[in-house]
Amino acid sequence: MRKPFVAGNWKMNGSRDSVRTLLDGIKAGMADVSVAEVAVCPPAIYIADVQQQLEGSAIGCGGQDVSTQASGAFTGEISTAMLQDFACRYTLVGHSERRTLHGEDDALVARKFSVASAAGLIPILCIGETLQEREANETESVVSRQLDAVIELDGIEALADCIIAYEPVWAIGTGKTASSAQAQEVHAFIRQKLAELNADVAEGVRILYGGSVKGSNAEELFGQTDIDGGLIGGASLMADDFLAICRAAR
Ligand code: PEP
């Protein structure tokens, strides 16, 4: 049985004050969200504040990105050990904004995945096709290629302890959600692809959907057989919206 998981990706939003208010709101409403595992991924500079505020709470914290390097002259980068120093359990890797705006290719994302899982962090591996790729019927080949980069580097077993987030790029921050049928089709494809290599890994791995998830569409999306929760951008910045999504993940 896969435990539903909902993670909020706050991206580069907020201030010390707004982060405090947002987290207070989420914590206050968590009592009736007992089923889902929940995490937030704040901007790195607020992780220390978030860690303090989350003390004693079941809500986890994650990085939005991680370096492949352990330490040294890598200006602007954050290592796995630094994330763990502040009690992060997760880190996003390969978010589409990192891939598009920061030129991260499959090989680099696979290395980030590899160092994160070797350090004991749970990587949330983001994959998904652009609109152009979907229209060219390339969705399956794109997500396959993105998964294969990780499998070739670390083996299929490495996926046992990770979370996959299928995020069609055309649905991120656009208000265009994939229909539940469209999302389920890709999730089933991903699980089937993994099952060809290792049935246990395929059955156990949680595959989240991300892309304009809201309180109003979460229940239908999360009700699909192969959708195990969500990676939430915009709607994770308002406590009530995020909580409504968490409640839908049963
Ligand atoms: C995301 O950035 O991972 C995301 C899914 O964003 P949004 O929910 O705003 O589409």
Measured in Å, residue 233 CA sits from the centre of ligand 1 at 3
Q: Tell whether ligand 1 has an atom less than 6 A from the beta carbon of residue 211.
A: yes
User: Whose CA is closest to atom 3 on ligand 1?
Assistant: 233
Ligand 1 centroid vs 72 CA: distance in angstroms? 32
The CA 200 to ligand 1 mean position distance, Å, reads 29
Beta bridge partners of 27: none
Which residue has a Cα nearest atom 7 of ligand 1?
Answer: 233
Mean pLDDT, residues 23-47: 93
Q: What is the pLDDT of residue 183?
A: 97
Dihedral in degrees, nearest 10, Cα atoms 69, 119, 1, 178:
-10
State the average pLDDT for the chain.
Answer: 96
Q: Is 102 marked active-site?
A: no
pLDDT single digits (tens) 111-131:
999 999 999 999 999 999 999
Overall number of domains in the chain: 1
Report the pLDDT value the prediction gives residue 250, as an integer from 0 to 100. Answer: 79
User: Annotated catalytic residue: which of 95, 104, 129, 133?
Assistant: 95
Of the candidates 167, 77, 68, 168, the one whose C-alpha atom is nearest the C-alpha of residue 121 is: 68
**Which protein residue has the closest C-alpha to ligand 1 atom 8?**
233
pLDDT cut 70: percent of the chain above it: 100
Whether the CB-CB separation of 81 and 119 falls below 8 Å is answered with yes
Q: What's the CA gap between 182 and 150, in Å, rounded?
A: 24
pLDDT, tens digit (0-9, with 9 covering 90-100), for 224-249: 999 999 999 999 999 999 999 999 99
> What is the per-residue pLDDT across 137-194, written as a single tens digit (0 to 9) for each?
999 999 999 999 999 999 999 999 899 999 999 999 888 888 999 999 999 999 999 9
Q: How far apart are CA 62 and CA 232, in angstroms?
A: 13
Q: What is the pLDDT of residue 177?
A: 85
CA angle 136, 141, 143 (to 5 degrees): 110
The Cα 113–Cα 231 span in angstroms is: 17
Q: Check pocket membership of 173 for ligand 1, CB cut-off 6 A.
A: yes
Residue 164: phi and psi, rounded to 5, are: -105, 135
Asked whether the whole model's pTM tops 0.95, one would answer: yes
Q: What would the two tokens of residue 230 be?
A: 């969500």
**What pLDDT score does 32 carry?**
79
Q: Give the pLDDT confidence of 56-73 residue by residue, as tens digits.
A: 999 999 999 999 999 999
Q: How far is the CA of 1 from the centre of ligand 1 (A)?
A: 26
- 187 included as an active-site residue: no
pLDDT at 176: 85
Does ligand 1 come within 6 angstroms of the Cβ of 172? Answer: yes
Pocket test for ligand 1, best of 126, 131, 169, 172 (most atoms within 8 A of CB): 172
Closest CA to ligand 1's atom 1: 233
Q: Give buried/exposed letters for 54-66 (b at 16+ CB in 10 A, else e).
A: beeeebbbbbbbb
Catalytic choice (97, 104, 167, 187): 167
pLDDT of amino acid 169: 95
Domain that holds residue 23: 5-248
**Cα(210) to centroid of ligand 1, in Å?**
6
Q: Which helix (H) or strand (E) holds 151?
A: helix 139-154
Residue 24 Cα to chain centre, angstroms? 22
Question: Are 230 and 27 within 8 A, CB to CB?
Answer: no
Q: What is the CATH number of the domain that holds 241?
A: 3.20.20.70
